[in-house]
Chain A
Amino acid sequence: MDAFVQLDGLVAPLDRANVDTDQIIPKQYLKSIKRTGFGDYLFDAWRFLDQGTLGMTPNERQINREFSLNLPEYQGAAILIARDNFGCGSSREHAVWALKEFGFRAVIAPSFADIFFGNCFKNGVLPITLPADVVSSLFERVAAGLTLSIDLRTHTVTDGDQSYDFEIDPALKEKMLNGMDDIDLTLAEADLIRDFETGHRQRQPWLFRD
């Protein structure tokens, strides 16, 4: 997994609450059996005016010129700001794959849905929770070309002279900073799992079919 340590990036706005993962990446693109190839379809029904299918390129599509991510001032943005409960709904990790491939390495919102939040940490995309009034102030200034500096080591977002702390679970932070493979880390505890499993089988033998 890609590590996340520090990021200086341009901010793009998505001024909506309860953005669900069906909007982040619609269902017709979930038929792929790959982890890549989703960036072109990020926020598909909002970025484009026509209905897309897997395999189409943005050049073949009708661009929605009014949608924030299509505006010239936000091209190349690496940080997305959004409202409450970002990433709700379906567990599809394709949503995070699409955001990352499109170029976003961090999302800032007042709150996130649980499954999306966890999926971000599996892919080196940092979800940052900041108070709603701070996020609102970022929305007010984003059109002027806002860049932010995010440092995971100190868990701070720096906006010019202003700096905001964000909370992050220490264990998740550690994993993100090192970009370590989750499965390797868990398999290092294989003996612990086997010991548990032996006891579990004794306590609830009906759970084992072999």
Chain B
Amino acid sequence: MSSEQSQSGPQTLYDKIWAAHDVGQRVDGNSLLYIDLQLLHEVTSPQAFEGLQLAERPLWRVDANLATPDHNVPTAGRELGFAGITDEIALEQVTTLDKNCKAFGVQQFEILDPRQGIVHVVGPEQGATMPGMTVVCGDSHTSTHGAFAALAQGIGTSEVEHVMATQCLVQNKAKNFEVNVTGTLAAGVTAKDLVLAIIGRLGTAGATGHTIEYRGDAIRSLSMEGRMTLCNMSIEAGARAGLVAVDDTTINYIHGRPFAPKGELWNQAENYWRTLVSDEGAVFDASITIDASTIAPQVSWGTSPEMVAGIDQAVPDPTKMSDAVQAESTELALKYMDLQAGQKITDIAVSRVFIGSCTNARIEDLRAAAAQIRGGKIADNVTEALVVPGSGLVKAQAEAEGLADQFTAAGFEWRAAGCSMCLGMNPDQLGEGEHCASTSNRNFEGRQGYGGRTHLVSPAMAAAAAINGRFVDVRENG
């Protein structure tokens, strides 16, 4: 089917974006989807650039690429630039990105540029992510950009090279999954808690093969930051992409940003963007409804993001599980995490805290975290609490608002932008056996450091854990 053809019947938002980018089929029957924006970082792009060079292929569209180093960059000593990277292998990767961007003419926010940061924070912040776009990046959290009604997907390095060379992705259309969230989140309960609760309900493979659209009153009430947090973790439910339809919140966020259209082009774009909602009566292949008011602040206790519980709950008991594989997974997770079945979540002590990542390192996240400090200090048993803003611009704004001073006065470390301890490719890592309250997205074994034990939480919950040395219910802090 070509993009010219209109589909009969009501369409979902995903159907509309897909149809608007459907190039057609190759001779072997595989479908081509046109890609509007490719975000690049240092870890998954070098092999792709090398492939292009070896085959002497140019970039199909230079202006459809935007790069920044984020995974490997140190968060301390940033003013030193490349010289601040003490790991020689990491340095080679970051300088290789720099060389490749210069050789191919790709716009890059370099290591010392104030606009540098985590790709998934930088794209929206610059207005480079726009509604109705197709966005790819060699990073599974590309789903973040779905908050703007952009079809945004993580891809492998071969696909990165393919998009570089052809501006297309070889892909079959996914199914439509509706996550309908009714009601209102309680005070102190955030988009992070909502998405963790959704993953807990769906399981880490619950939406495999689907694109999720988050719908309902609770979603409409979320800020763009909250919607980005929500869409960011779609991949943790197995969905390659998550979407939120366009409304005033979306339009207002984009207006005036550096990459956003201006003047008459803006009006034209806005008119189109307003159509990016699922039609009345559109059919979804799967659907769940969640009442937002029932959700408590969430804390993950295991080694998969589906292993979550409310702050008022306890660690589950594998001997009471009917599914053998689930019981086995739970047992392995409790052993790795050194937790006991039945242990109260509020009895879990933490020695490290990480506030950052593409999930939760935007200005709203830092405000929510700082609001938990209330003149307190980090607990004696907390040896390090890191705050890593998502971009240089978020960092500057937080400093201007006085948040950075509040953090440092309480004993938190205030760092420069990057992925940092979300995956510990840079020097920010957990030690063996350490429990960490982390605002990141994955609690996999060893993810934040060899033998480290990650508990996924919201920024407010992480900051409260830093002050108390264990998990506490932020709803009780008023």
The answer to whether A197 touches B139 (Cβ under 8 A) is no
Contact of A185 among B26, B156, B157, B423 (CB under 8 A): B26
Contacts A17-B329, A22-B444, A189-B32; is A183 near B161 (CB within 8 Å)? yes
Contact in complex: B442, A89 (CB < 8 Å) = yes
Which of B92, B155, B332 contacts A16, CB < 8 Å? B332
- Give A116 to B128 CA distance when docked, in angstroms: 27
CB of B156 within 8 A of CB of A206, answer no
- Docked-complex contact B32 and A193, CB < 8 angstroms: yes
Cross-chain contact A192 with B23 (CB below 8 angstroms) = yes
> Could you say which residues of chain A place their CB within 8 Å of the CB of B400?
none
- List chain A residues, Cβ under 8 A from B168: 186, 193
- Whether A31 and B425, one on each chain, are in contact in the complex, defined by CB atoms closer than 8 angstroms, is yes
Interface centre among A92, A200, A204, A208 (most CB of B within 10 A): A204
Question: Within 8 Å CB of A171, what residues of B?
Answer: 28-30, 172
Residues in B neighbouring A193, C-beta threshold 8 A: 23, 32, 34, 60, 166-168
Residue of A18, A30, A32, A115 contacting most chain B CB atoms (<10 Å): A18
The size of the chain B interface, using a CB distance under 8 A, is 88
- Given A16-B329, A31-B425, A45-B446, CB of A111 within 8 Å of CB of B30: no
Binds A, one of B130-138, B178-186, B376-384: B130-138
Residue-by-residue, is A90-128 near B (CB-CB < 8 Å gives 1, otherwise 0)?
Answer: 111110100000000000000111110011001100000
Asked, given contacts A175-B28, A183-B162, A186-B170, whether A33 binds B47 with beta carbons under 8 Å apart, the answer is yes
In-complex Cβ contact of A85 among B162, B208, B332 (8 A):
B208
Please tell me if A72 contacts chain B, counting CB pairs below 8 Å: no
B269 touches A206 (CB 8 A): yes
**Binary B-proximity of A61-104 (CB < 8 A = 1, otherwise 0):** 00000000000000000000001110011111110100000000
* Residue-wise interface mask of A (187-210) relative to B, using a CB-CB cutoff of 8 A (1 in contact, 0 not): 111101100110110011111111
The contact of A31 among B21, B30, B93, B172, by CB within 8 Å, is: B93
In the complex, what residues of A have CB within 8 A of residue B204's CB? 18, 85, 88
CA distance A156 to B55 in the complex (A): 35
Question: Which chain B residue lies CB-closest to A20?
Answer: B444
CB distance from A86 to the nearest CB of B (A): 10
- Chain A residue numbers with a CB within 8 Å of B205 are 18, 84-85, 88, 111, 113
User: Closest A-chain residue to B100, C-beta based?
Assistant: A33
Q: How many residues from A make CB contacts under 8 Å with B?
A: 67
Tell whether A143 is near chain B: CB-to-CB under 8 Å.
Answer: no
Residue from A34, A190, A193, A203 having most chain B Cβ neighbours under 10 A = A193
Distance of A206 Cα from B46 Cα, bound (Å): 29
Nearest CB of chain B from residue A207's CB, rounded to whole Å: 5
Bound Cα distance from A28 to B23, whole angstroms: 38
- In the complex, the answer to whether A93 meets B157 with C-beta atoms within 8 Å is yes
Q: Which residues of chain A come closer than 8 Å to B57, judged between CB atoms?
A: 183
Across the interface, which residues of B come within 8 angstroms of A174, CB to CB? Answer: 28-29
Chain A neighbourhood of B30, CB < 8 A: 171-172, 175, 185
Q: Give the chain B neighbours of A96 by CB distance below 8 A.
A: 156
Centre residue among B140, B165, B238, B265 by max chain A CB count within 10 A: B140
Min CB–CB distance B454 → chain A (angstroms): 11
Quick check: is A141 within 8 A (CB to CB) of the other chain?
no
Q: Which of chain B's residues have a CB closer than 8 A to the CB of A93?
A: 44, 138, 156-158
> Does B92 contact A91, Cβ atoms closer than 8 Å?
no
CB distance from A18 to the nearest CB of B (A): 5
> What per-residue 1/0 map shows which CB atoms of B56-98 lie under 8 Å from chain A?
0100111110000001100000000000000101101100100
Partner of B90, one of A31, A183, A199: A31
Residues of B within 8 A of A205 (CB): 265, 268
B325 contacts the other chain (Cβ, under 8 Å)? yes
Query: A183–B166 contact, CB under 8 A?
Result: yes
B447 proximal to A (CB < 8 A): yes
Name the one of A16, A23, A123 contacting B444, with C-beta atoms under 8 angstroms.
A23
A192–B28 touching, CB < 8 Å: no
Residue of A45, A185, A196, A200 most packed against chain B (CB within 10 A): A196
- On whether the beta carbons of A33 and B34 are closer than 8 Å, the reply is no
Judge whether B158 and A123 touch: CB under 8 Å: yes
Mark contacts of A134-165 with chain B using CB atoms, 8 A cut-off: 1 yes-contact digit, 0 otherwise: 00000000000000000000000000000000
B425 to chain A: closest CB distance in Å? 5
Bound CA–CA A30/B36 (angstroms): 27
User: Which chain A residues numbered 13 to 57 have a C-beta less than 8 Å away from chain B?
Assistant: 16-18, 20, 22-23, 26-28, 30-35, 45, 51, 54
- With a CB–CB cut-off of 8 A, which chain A residues contact B71? 30
C-alpha gap A197/B253 in the complex (Å): 28
A-B residue pairs, 10 tightest by C-beta: A93-B156, A122-B158, A171-B29, A33-B46, A206-B261, A85-B205, A119-B156, A91-B154, A209-B63, A91-B140
Chain B contacts to A: CB under 8 angstroms:
3-4, 20-21, 23-24, 26-30, 32, 34, 36-37, 43-44, 46-47, 50, 55, 57, 60-64, 71-72, 87, 89-90, 92-93, 96, 130, 132-133, 138-140, 154-159, 161-162, 165-168, 170, 172, 174, 204-205, 208-209, 235-236, 238, 240, 259, 261, 265-266, 268-269, 272, 304, 306, 325-326, 328-329, 332, 423-425, 442, 444-447, 450-451
- 25 interchain pairs, CB-CB under 8 A: A17-B325, A22-B445, A28-B425, A30-B425, A31-B87, A32-B89, A89-B442, A91-B140, A91-B154, A91-B155, A92-B156, A93-B138, A115-B156, A118-B155, A119-B156, A171-B172, A174-B29, A182-B158, A183-B162, A183-B165, A187-B165, A190-B166, A200-B34, A205-B268, A208-B63
